[in-house]
A and B are shown apart, each in its own frame.
Chain A
Amino acid sequence: MKLNGTKKDKIMKEVDETKAPFSSNNIRLSGREWIIAAIICFGLLFFGPELWGHLEKFNPGVDYRLPYELGNDYWLYGRYCRWACSKYDTLVVGDSVVWGHYVSSDNTLSHYLNQNAGKECFANLGVDGFHPAALGGLLRYYGRNISSKKVIIQCNPLWMTSAKHDLQTDKEFHFNHPKLVPQFFPRIPCYKDPFSKRFSAAIQRYVSFFGWSSHLQIVYFENLDLPNWTLENPYENPISAVTLEFPSPNDDLEENFPWTEKGITQENFQWVELAQSLQWRFFRQTINLLRTRNNTVFVVVGPFNEHMLKPESYNTYQRMKSEIETWLRQNNVAYCIPSVLPSELYRDASHPLGQGYSMLAKQLFENQSFKSTILNASGD
């Protein structure tokens, strides 16, 4: 059936009459207005975090380390890196072993290194839970200021004690700091976040505004986004929560007695082969990254609690240690493999207690490579 002209005209007129209005609100910008809006937004996106840095005072003191609860605040880590690079000769980076999980801030490795040096020249840039894959991302994207410095980086074999620690399980495993690991390549078998999340994580690294907005959440909103924070604090004014003051570093320590007193027994770790280890691969990449930025890199392997290893596991670990040493030597990376500390100075498989850190620092100061790489280079 074909519509005749009059009827068609009538219907088309009807369509025109019922033609929808643009919208039910007045938010309709022209091209020029969109450009103005975009300029304002981009201006705030790029200069906002910078301006905020001036508004929010950040003055770390002696033996400073990022408070435990700010471990996810990568934007603040970047600020801390900038500050540490301007004040210290040597930066000590690594996971909770460097950070000092079971000890107060004046019992950490960097504290005892400073004590041995007789001056404040070692900064504690360790962060809790930073396995090599995450540490690599942290230094690559948020530690860009670390260049032409001396860097002590700790290699913690704990991350190779099982396929799970090494992020190699095919089953999804929620590990620490997924936003910092490579999102697409190399593929991390246990990392199953959807494409949208990975893409967003990849973008966030390059736009400091996003790091800054999560800094606000972490520091002022109990690590929650604003809507969830208001659910927890329904009658609080969010603006008054932004006090511009950082939480004080909390030394509320967990029990700090030796592993044997905690009822921990010897273990037979299912070590990952070094050649196949993802974490070792990421660690090597981090060393290369630091070196390409003209840093002098010094690697501390361990100190791992070898007392905790059953004989079979012990033998595998020794073999692995020697493979690590071979690679470091072949690649001209200065290193130290400190001798194992007394059993009672370990809290668990990898964390020393305060006295352990003191002993470790002494060992480093007696190490020739350390002297030539870290101490002599600065004339100490």
Chain B
Amino acid sequence: MAASYFFYACFNPLYLILIGYSTLVDYTVVAIMAKSPRRKMWLSVSIVNNIGLLGFFKYAGFITENINALLSSLNVSYAIPEPGFILPIGISFYVFQSMSYTIDYYRGRMDREKSLIAYAAFVSLFPRLVAGPIERARNLLPQLHKTPKVTTQDVTDGLSLFIVGLFKKVALADYLALYVDNIYTAPEQYQSPALVLATFLFCWQIYFDFSGYTDMARGIARIMGMNLMLNFNNPYLATGLGDFWARWHISLSSWFKDYVYIPLGGNRKGTLVTYRNMFLTMVISGLWHGAAWTFVIWGAVHAIGRFVTRELERTAFYREKVPKLVKQLLVFVFVTFAWIFFRAESIGDAWVIIMRIFSSGWANPYCPVLALILVFVVWLYQFMYESRLRWIFNLVPVRIGIVVGMILYLAIFAPSSEQGFIYLQF
């Protein structure tokens, strides 16, 4: 716990007040809940407190901005002052993690954690503190109680995870960012090929960036003798949008499924209600990512995608006749299209990008071929990994060769510029 708090304080010591407050409130709420007959009320206290924290620190600016825009459109000269504080790093992650503990306890899915230190360590465990995975208390707390037994395999597995994560982040994500950032900063200056390629590369950049972080976090935890959940499972091989969300940011999608979608009724109350629930879950998930309308639209676009693929999957033709590869490519193209809203600086920019993709000229995109080759190599690797050819990667020389290749590439060719992790802003 001390190490995690020290790690967090390195960003800003004031953040400790916030994480300490959130931890104390949920720990106390559950302690009271254990003795109180008014369990539901105490659960509400925890939820309101957590959502309130998130709303205040993450969405206050967004809400103010929109109220001011509304007032202005109504010709009201008054404007609410903008809040001046910075979004504390990782708040979306640890607030959700802490909330899952109180909800799970309320649902009777786990025992109360008696040790405040263990609970604080669960909320703040440093490898996953700032960008997940959002662990469930029932997975992580038991591990924190045990004396860590670090085996040789834990260390070698941790190293393996870490090196892959480092490669994804430094060699791939940061490389792709160089091209993507240029284009997305001024999309009106570029034509269709550049915009399409930048969107394609962003699709991979965000995957490499976020899954790279998770791999490193899991690797470090593993070296300490702890297991964190898998957060990404080759999402761009998904055959449907439902499948995509079962592979992308798994800890968050399963959180939304367990604590939003199912409590709303899930798919138990008819098609229309199911789609309403899906839509609400996806829009809230979009908003979780960032306080901007672009994220809301991104969530809504995904919701629509889920409706479509769900309906398609119900038809025998789509299930049986359409080749898997075609389904994978369709999902990939759709997800890539949706990333435009996620990456664009504003809805206006997203609109410009979409319009220019379909209506501008065919100017040379000047996209580095090497970046495309690297992406296609990774894509091919993933296809092979999920195919009958997987045995190739079980060969010792192949695995050693890949690791040596990654280390040498990092040592010789990695970009010298430093890029932050995309998901730290959430």
B residues 208-262 near A (Cβ < 8 Å) are 211, 215, 218, 227-230, 232-234
Known contacts A231-B178, A238-B370; decide if A23 and B161 are in contact (CB<8 Å).
Answer: yes
Specify the chain A residue showing the minimal Cβ separation from B152: A31
User: What residues of A have a CB within 8 angstroms of the CB of B376 in the complex?
Assistant: none
Known contacts A1-B108, A20-B230; decide if A37 and B369 are in contact (CB<8 Å).
Answer: no
Q: Do the beta carbons of A28 and B399 come within 8 Å of each other?
A: yes
Nearest CB in chain A: distance from B145 CB, A: 14
Query: How far is B33's CA from A36's CA once the two chains are assembled, in angstroms?
Result: 55
Q: CB of A45 within 8 A of chain B? A: yes
Q: Do the beta carbons of B416 and A225 come within 8 Å of each other?
A: yes
User: What residues of B have a CB within 8 angstroms of the CB of A18 in the complex?
Assistant: 229
Q: Do the beta carbons of B157 and A22 come within 8 Å of each other?
A: yes
3 smallest beta-carbon distances between A and B, as pairs? A20-B230, A230-B368, A26-B393
User: What residues of B have a CB within 8 angstroms of the CB of A210 in the complex?
Assistant: 411
Nearest CB in chain A: distance from B373 CB, A: 10
Q: Do the beta carbons of B399 and A26 come within 8 Å of each other?
A: yes
Nearest CB in chain A: distance from B151 CB, A: 10
Q: CB of A216 within 8 A of chain B? A: yes
Per-position 1/0 for A159-201, Cβ under 8 A of B: 0000000000000000000000000000000000000000000
User: What residues of B have a CB within 8 angstroms of the CB of A51 in the complex?
Assistant: none
User: What residues of A have a CB within 8 angstroms of the CB of B159 in the complex?
Assistant: 29, 34
- State which size class the interface on B falls in: 35 or more
Specify the chain A residue showing the minimal Cβ separation from B370: A230
Nearest CB in chain B: distance from A355 CB, A: 42
Q: Do the beta carbons of B399 and A33 come within 8 Å of each other?
A: yes
Q: Do the beta carbons of B227 and A28 come within 8 Å of each other?
A: no
Q: Do the beta carbons of B178 and A24 come within 8 Å of each other?
A: no
- For the A-B complex, the count of residue pairs with Cβ-Cβ distances under 8 Å equals 135
User: What residues of A have a CB within 8 angstroms of the CB of B110 in the complex?
Assistant: 3, 11
Known contacts A1-B112, A34-B159, A228-B415; decide if A29 and B368 are in contact (CB<8 Å).
Answer: no
User: What residues of A have a CB within 8 angstroms of the CB of B390 in the complex?
Assistant: 26
Per-position 1/0 for B354-391, Cβ under 8 A of A: 00000000000011111100000000011001000010
Query: How far is B251's CA from A285's CA once the two chains are assembled, in angstroms?
Result: 57
Query: How far is B368's CA from A235's CA once the two chains are assembled, in angstroms?
Result: 6
Contact of A28 among B157, B182, B369, B411 (CB under 8 A): B157
Query: How far is B401's CA from A36's CA once the two chains are assembled, in angstroms?
Result: 10
Per-position 1/0 for A1-39, Cβ under 8 A of B: 111000110010001001111111111111101101100
A residues 29-78 near B (Cβ < 8 Å) are 29-31, 33-34, 36-37, 40-41, 44-45
Name which of B50-58, B92-100, B263-271, B402-410 contacts chain A.
Answer: B402-410
Q: Do the beta carbons of A213 and B412 come within 8 Å of each other?
A: yes
16 residue pairs of the A-B complex, CB under 8 angstroms, read: A19-B227, A23-B218, A23-B230, A24-B211, A24-B232, A25-B385, A27-B163, A33-B396, A41-B407, A45-B411, A216-B412, A226-B413, A227-B174, A231-B178, A234-B366, A238-B370
Specify the chain A residue showing the minimal Cβ separation from B415: A227
Contact of A41 among B367, B368, B408, B414 (CB under 8 A): B408
Q: CB of B394 within 8 A of chain A? A: yes
Q: CB of B338 within 8 A of chain A? A: no
Q: Do the beta carbons of A37 and B407 come within 8 Å of each other?
A: yes
Nearest CB in chain A: distance from B26 CB, A: 16
Per-position 1/0 for B150-173, Cβ under 8 A of A: 001101110111011000000000
Q: Do the beta carbons of B108 and A24 come within 8 Å of each other?
A: no
Q: CB of A209 within 8 A of chain B? A: yes
Specify the chain A residue showing the minimal Cβ separation from B105: A1
Q: CB of B66 within 8 A of chain A? A: no
Nearest CB in chain A: distance from B257 CB, A: 12
User: What residues of A have a CB within 8 angstroms of the CB of B382 in the complex?
Assistant: 24-25
Most buried by A among B156, B232, B382: B156
Contact of A36 among B153, B161, B400, B415 (CB under 8 A): B400
User: What residues of A have a CB within 8 angstroms of the CB of B393 in the complex?
Assistant: 25-27
Q: CB of B139 within 8 A of chain A? A: yes
Q: CB of B34 within 8 A of chain A? A: yes
Most buried by B among A31, A37, A238: A37
Q: Do the beta carbons of B411 and A21 come within 8 Å of each other?
A: no
User: What residues of A have a CB within 8 angstroms of the CB of B234 in the complex?
Assistant: 24
Specify the chain A residue showing the minimal Cβ separation from B233: A24
Query: How far is B111's CA from A36's CA once the two chains are assembled, in angstroms?
Result: 45
User: What residues of B have a CB within 8 angstroms of the CB of A213 in the complex?
Assistant: 411-413
Q: CB of B426 within 8 A of chain A? A: no
Query: How far is B156's CA from A226's CA once the two chains are assembled, in angstroms?
Result: 30
